[in-house]
Chains A and B, each alone.
Chain A
Amino acid sequence: MTSNTLIEAKELSVRYGDFIAVDRLSLAIAQGELYALLGTNGAGKTSTLETLQGHRGPSSGRVAVFGADPRDIKKVRPRTGIMLQESGFAPTLKVAETVQLFGDLSGRIDDARRVVDVAGLSDKANVRVSQLSGGEKRKLDFATAIFGNPELIFLDEPTVGLDIGARDQLWAAINEIRDQGCTIVLTTHYLEEAEQYANRIGLMHHGKIQMEGCFSDLASSFPAKIHFEAAAEKAAIPFPVEAEGPYAWAISTENAERDVFELQSWARQQGIGIHGLSVRRANLDDIFRTLSH
């Protein structure tokens, strides 16, 4: 573990009876990093996260957060904020009261009103939790996690249920705390969020991290795609193409420049017009699909 490694897992395994949810997983997350832990359904993300958060112990292997066992809540939790994917609140408490309650339990000091403002709930501070919408409850979840500016935050699907404007607002707040040096572990099914914001991405499948790295490194190891429209039959096109719609095609390519040139040459020879020609590097959707298959 290097001096700025905040989270380290070595050969971590989590077993439920005979079922292996996490299989000798190793990762290291540095201080100040935004690490996106992504994976297919049933990949073992939840079990991994729960172990990193200290809700359960490993079946084998080692986990350390701030150099300590994450189950040592007195050492670790005052420095950690957790935003769960699903969790509940006391319905008759007000928003500001709820933030204060969880703030008091966090072991950190802050102003509940400030946190409510950062989370975008200023006009709901005196409203009972039972009267909040689903998206507002997610914001409240976020507020309770960031109370007292923890050094480490787990964000589990933070923008689920939020409209576009609220998502942008939340990400602005996340980026602000990240700029202050907070380390963030993110899970999300909005892959574009991981592409856009994560320093590094870990892709889990069948209990292991199958791929890890920054998005550009991951994408460069996958073929790019050439997209175009042409009034031609699939068999007539001299490339292995995927149909994306009526006369809309995509070609996977390791050498986009060469393949675009050849495509245009073929189209000129055949007298076929090419429209909407674009080249896109692989995105997380593509990487995910490859991983799942």
Chain B
Amino acid sequence: MFTIAKYEGIQLLRDPLVLLMSTLIPLAACGFIYWSLGSANIALAAVFVPFFMGSFVIYGSSVTTLAARRQNLFLKRLRCTSESSAGIVIGLILTFILLAAAETIGMITVFSILQTPPSNFFLFIVAVTLVLALYVGFGLATAGVTKSPDSAQVTTLPVALGVMGVAFWVAVSGTETLTLLKLALPGGAAAELLLGAWQGTQWQEAAIPLIVTVAWTAIAFVASKFFFKWEPRR
């Protein structure tokens, strides 16, 4: 897994434009959101960060990379080695996962310095980890139904926009109304979890959104096992 990740990293470094865009654009977007929402809404900005990083750095890049590697038969080549299936797939996207994690940690650290850190720090870390994992699972599942890197522009739209849209809806409007719907939709419970953790929700109160978020992450990974393809359809 780490061998594959190392060489994916080398390839990323050899494409400076892609590297720059993967790093600067998400950071700039998060900075803009913080500035737009204002310091009074730091919790909302903190919810936005992992969803944005997950959606664009992990999800979009993973789907495009896996579709490209499948289309050019590089995946097929890797399957002839001693590396496990899971090791191959995670190795190919590990660079993006680490980039998203680093950028998320960086932005939250900046928010914490500018304002205050999350009140329930460990719950917030768990929530961020689950959100990023959720996007990894969705990425693997979507890659299975994405024929080529070109079609990734279309196949990623529902999850990229839908999940983030739900997260914002929940973060902005709360869960006093339409509680069941907001918590059940993908991203809703995770947003509630992040917001609550930043504002000081305790573990017991966070149980339901935590369970729902874990369930959605599990669903995403089960779907990825079902949908993922190693070779282009003949």
Contact = CB atoms under 8 A, between A and B. Distances in A.
Interface of A: 53, 55, 73-74, 77-78, 82, 84, 86-93, 97, 101-102, 104-107, 144
B197 interface: no
A222 to B, nearest CB: 35
Given A105-B3, A107-B82, A92 B73 contact: no
Nearest to B11: A92
Contacts of B72: 88-89, 91
B78 interface: yes
Report, as a range, how many residues of chain B touch the other chain: 20 to 34
B3 A87 contact: no
Contact of B83 (A82, A93, A105): A105
A89 B11 contact: no
A213 B74 CA distance: 35
A77 B11 contact: no
23 contacts: A53-B80, A77-B80, A77-B81, A84-B73, A84-B77, A87-B80, A88-B74, A88-B76, A91-B72, A92-B10, A92-B14, A92-B15, A93-B7, A93-B10, A93-B11, A101-B3, A101-B4, A101-B7, A102-B77, A104-B3, A105-B78, A106-B82, A107-B81
Contacts of B225: none
Contacts of A90: 7, 11, 74
Contacts of B80: 53, 77, 82, 84, 87
B74 A87 contact: yes
B84 interface: yes
A78 B81 CA distance: 8
Contacts of A106: 81-82
Nearest to B12: A92
Contacts of A86: 73, 76
Most buried by B among A74, A78, A88, A107: A88
A233 to B, nearest CB: 50
B82 A88 contact: no
A152 B83 CA distance: 18
Contact of B73 (A53, A73, A77, A88): A88
B193 to A, nearest CB: 38
Contacts of B79: 55
Contacts of A93: 7, 10-11
A41 to B, nearest CB: 14
B76 A74 contact: no
Contacts of B11: 90, 92-93
A97 B6 CA distance: 11
Contact of B7 (A77, A87, A97): A97
Given A53-B80, A77-B81, 4 more contacts: A73-B82, A84-B73, A86-B76, A87-B77
Nearest to B80: A82
